[in-house]
């Protein structure tokens, strides 16, 4: 392939300012992981589980009260 001469000769100044245009590029960042459940929802679920365990424990201790006197 024959080399072709550029149409314009490159000319860099010896003094003064030179400018360079910077093209913006895509910046990839670390993915942010979001919780599936909020902290308050987890606290509420924990409280509910504890309450259910307490009810089951009381039912095991007092099984006759569960029938409400009906035989």
CA distances from 52 to 32, 57, 59, 66 (A): 35, 9, 11, 15
Q: What is the per-residue pLDDT across 49-67, written as a single tens digit (0 to 9) for each?
A: 999 999 999 888 886 655 5
Q: What is the tens place of the pLDDT at every residue in 14-31?
A: 787 777 777 788 888 888
């Amino acid at each position: 392939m024959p080399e072709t001469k550029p149409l314009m000769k490159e000319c860099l100044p010896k003094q003064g300012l030179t400018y360079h245009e910077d093209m913006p590029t895509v910046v990839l960042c670390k993915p942010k992981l979001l919780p599936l459940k909020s902290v308050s929802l987890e606290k509420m679920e924990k409280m509910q589980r504890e309450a259910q365990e307490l009810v089951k424990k009381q039912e095991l201790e007092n099984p006759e009260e569960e029938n409400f006197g009906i035989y």
